[in-house]
């Protein structure tokens, strides 16, 4: 008889032998015990996690003549032995990739019409069911929704998204997850003892890591290692057989990149390259190492790290020696370098250059630390490490050292403030520069309040604004009312007030084409009168023509302003209250 590989030899024959998948196994057992078995069950998940195995165990349990109280098949009755030996006439196990057409589904529907020959039920198992065509799925819809009482369907797929929603809605779905590191390590260690092979714990960790949560992949690797080694297998054997990079090398390179050890990092890379390891796989392992370090620095993320406990302790120790921001920055540089390496004609040189960038990168200082130092300086407390900053001082500006002067009102002497003993000058005593407070600009006239006469009685006066000085303020005034008009006014080349005219000069007629329209000229004139409180006429000056406002129009702002100023009611009010006219506003917001 030919040799039977571990993946087939150790295939589980009941629910207790299934590795991992505890929630799925418990649900299936309870459905058997309570006789609530769905007529169509769909198992999905990555390769080698037990989809087909669970379908076969369910087939045996459904037809088992002496089923246990917990739902497990007996594996002794005629039906169980026939299914185990693949000789059952009532079990149809179909490969979806080879029987994917509508004709195969029609033949299957004809077979399930007849009652089972020797078992209680007919079981249909379709592996890789996502490979069926749309026509085949459609032909299966009615039968899958209302199958005969003696038929059960079991489906398995690795690509759940390719199955039509009409099929999914007719099935009871079970999604199988990747098997954890602890479960795989325990399972592989038990099989090694059964095979009479002693394997080092570190070597077993490498096989578990390479299996990536798949039991079948791990068993294939374990079978390969058993064929190479003797009764005792070390880490070096696993590395040589599988062409892997030792975890110690990955951790050593990671430590060298973080501690800026250029020689160690490049030497380890050269050793890895000469060994013939795929650089893509090597960089993937290196990125996973940095990811593990970052997760070690984040509280509450320990459950996201799926590595053996011995390696986790080493990563925790290394992560505690470096800041989170520094590790994250170096991982980003490594990701960029790996992306560049994939398209580089010399991938090794590209990776070495990436290592140099990572090593030469400075430590990242958190913003909170910088702000804390700034608060310490502002409080007048010395820092732990002071750095002297050289300052060049012009000889014409040299004054008496440690003298602080403030701006005093005119006619009063300037007082010198005593030096602060907590603040140390970084300049020599002969070249210390006096610090002066910046002179505050005078307040605008409109913010200083009304003028006061000699009798200390306030008298009202109109606001005085200058066209050139307050032009930007006027644009802000317009922006609050007409945004597009303020944007057009920004394109003005020069602004002048000449003999009662506000002249706006534009180098391009297109910049003021919209402003020159009649209704816009009227609106802009209202804004000018309201803001400057002057009887100004608007005039546009362009290279091709001159444009002025229509002051003769009865509805012009000038006419309206004069009309309001000479209104009889206004004149009577000023005479009764012994007052005078202040601002006259004709804009739309004043109406």
* Confidence at 44, pLDDT banded by 50, 70, 90: very high
- How high is the pLDDT of residue 527? 87
Domains 181-242 and 247-360 share a fold: no
Residue 280 confidence (pLDDT) above 50:
yes
Q: Mean per-residue pLDDT for 51-67? A: 92
* Confidence at 422, pLDDT banded by 50, 70, 90: very low
The Cα 524–Cα 515 span in angstroms is: 8
Q: Which CATH class is domain 6-175?
A: alpha beta
| For the chain, percent of residues with pLDDT exceeding 70 | 81
The Cα 489–Cα 472 span in angstroms is: 10
* Structure confidence by residue, pLDDT tens digits, 7-16: 888 899 999 9
Angle at 94 (CA atoms; ends 92, 96), nearest 5 degrees: 155
* Structure confidence by residue, pLDDT tens digits, 426-443: 334 433 334 334 344 444
Edge-to-edge strands, sheet with 546-548:
494-498, 501-505, 537-541, 546-548
In the chain, what are the domain boundaries? 6-175, 181-242, 247-360, 471-576
- How high is the pLDDT of residue 181? 86
Residue 460 confidence (pLDDT) above 70:
no
Any residues with CB less than 8 A from the CB of 509 and at least 6 apart, and which?
A: 542, 543, 544, 545
Q: Mean per-residue pLDDT for 193-221? A: 88
Residue 591 confidence (pLDDT) above 50:
yes
- How high is the pLDDT of residue 384? 54
Residue 165 confidence (pLDDT) above 70:
yes
The Cα 279–Cα 272 span in angstroms is: 9
Q: Mean per-residue pLDDT for 536-557? A: 65
* Confidence at 308, pLDDT banded by 50, 70, 90: confident
174 beta partners = 43
- How high is the pLDDT of residue 2? 67
- How high is the pLDDT of residue 175? 93
Q: Which CATH class is domain 181-242?
A: mainly alpha
Q: Mean per-residue pLDDT for 411-420? A: 43
In the block, residue with structure tokens 């440690």? 402
| For the chain, percent of residues with pLDDT exceeding 90 | 26
Under 8 Å between Cβ of 485 and 455: no
Residue 351 confidence (pLDDT) above 80:
yes
- How high is the pLDDT of residue 389? 38
Instruction: Note the maximum CA span of the chain.
Output: 127
Mean of the per-residue pLDDT values for the chain?
79
Which fold is adopted by the domain 247-360?
Answer: Zinc Finger, Delta Prime; domain 3 (1.20.272)
- How high is the pLDDT of residue 122? 93
Nearest partner of 329 among 356, 358, 354, judged by Cα: 358
In the block, residue with structure tokens 């302790």? 313
Q: Mean per-residue pLDDT for 480-489? A: 86
- How high is the pLDDT of residue 31? 93
Q: Mean per-residue pLDDT for 335-354? A: 90
CA distances from 39 to 29, 148, 519 (A): 15, 9, 79
**More confident position, 2 or 469:** 469
* Confidence at 272, pLDDT banded by 50, 70, 90: confident
Q: Residue 304 has which token pair?
A: 């996201």
Q: Mean per-residue pLDDT for 455-471? A: 63
Residue 154 confidence (pLDDT) above 90:
yes
In the block, residue with structure tokens 């893509």? 280
Under 8 Å between Cβ of 474 and 504: no
């Amino acid at each position: 008889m030919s040799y039977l590989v571990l993946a087939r030899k150790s295939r589980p024959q009941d629910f207790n032998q299934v590795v991992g998948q505890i929630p799925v196994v418990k649900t299936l057992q309870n459905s058997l015990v309570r006789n609530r078995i769905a007529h169509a069950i769909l198992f999905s998940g990555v390769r080698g996690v037990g989809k087909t195995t669970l379908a076969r165990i369910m087939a045996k349990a459904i037809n088992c003549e002496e089923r246990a109280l917990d739902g497990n098949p007996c594996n002794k009755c005629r039906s169980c032995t026939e299914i185990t030996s693949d000789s059952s006439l009532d079990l149809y196990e179909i490969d979806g990739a080879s029987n994917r057409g509508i004709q195969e589904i029609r033949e299957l529907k004809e077979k399930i019409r007849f009652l089972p020959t020797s078992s209680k039920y007919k079981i249909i198992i379709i592996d890789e069911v996502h490979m069926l065509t749309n026509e085949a799925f459609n032909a299966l819809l009615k039968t899958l929704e209302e199958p005969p009482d003696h038929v059960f369907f079991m489906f398995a797929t690795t690509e759940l998204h390719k199955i039509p929603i009409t099929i999914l809605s007719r099935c009871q779905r079970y999604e199988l997850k990747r098997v954890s590191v602890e479960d795989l390590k325990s399972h592989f260690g038990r099989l090694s003892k059964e095979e009479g092979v002693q394997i080092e714990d570190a070597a077993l960790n490498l096989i578990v890591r390479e299996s990536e949560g798949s039991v079948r992949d791990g068993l294939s690797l374990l079978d390969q290692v058993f064929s190479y080694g003797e009764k005792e297998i070390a880490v070096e054997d696993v590395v040589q057989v599988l062409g892997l990079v030792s975890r110690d090398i990955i951790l050593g390179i990671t430590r060298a990149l973080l501690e800026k050890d250029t020689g160690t990092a490049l030497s380890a890379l050269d050793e890895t390259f000469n060994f013939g390891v795929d650089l893509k796989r090597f960089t993937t392992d290196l990125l996973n190492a940095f990811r593990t370090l970052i997760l070690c620095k984040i509280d509450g993320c320990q459950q996201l790290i799926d590595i053996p406990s011995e390696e986790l302790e080493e990563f925790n120790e290394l992560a505690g020696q470096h800041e989170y921001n520094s590790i994250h920055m170096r991982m980003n540089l490594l990701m960029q370098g790996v992306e560049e390496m994939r398209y580089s004609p010399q991938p090794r040189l590209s990776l070495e250059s990436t290592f140099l960038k990572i090593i030469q990168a400075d430590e990242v200082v958190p913003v909170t630390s910088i702000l804390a130092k700034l608060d310490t300086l502002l409080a007048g407390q010395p820092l732990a490490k002071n750095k002297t900053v050289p300052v060049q001082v012009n000889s014409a500006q040299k004054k008496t050292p440690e003298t602080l002067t403030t701006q005093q009102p005119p006619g009063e002497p300037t007082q010198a403030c005593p030096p602060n003993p907590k603040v140390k000058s970084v300049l020599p005593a002969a070249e210390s520069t006096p610090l002066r407070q910046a002179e505050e600009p005078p307040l605008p006239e409109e913010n200083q309040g009304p003028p006061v006469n000699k009798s200390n009685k306030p008298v009202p006066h109109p606001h005085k604004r200058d066209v050139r000085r307050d032009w930007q303020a006027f644009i802000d005034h317009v922006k609050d009312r007409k945004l597009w008009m303020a944007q057009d006014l920004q394109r003005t080349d020069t602004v002048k007030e000449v003999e009662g005219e506000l002249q706006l000069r534009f180098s391009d007629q297109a910049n003021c084409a919209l402003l020159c329209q009649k209704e816009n000229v009227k609106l802009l004139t209202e804004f000018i009168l309201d803001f400057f409180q002057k009887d100004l006429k608007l005039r546009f000056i362009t290279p091709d023509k001159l444009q002025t406002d229509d002051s003769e129009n009865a509805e012009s702002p000038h006419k309206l302003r004069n009309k309001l100023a000479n209104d009889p009611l206004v004149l009577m009010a000023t005479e009764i209250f012994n007052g005078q006219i202040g601002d006259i506003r004709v804009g739309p917001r004043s109406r």
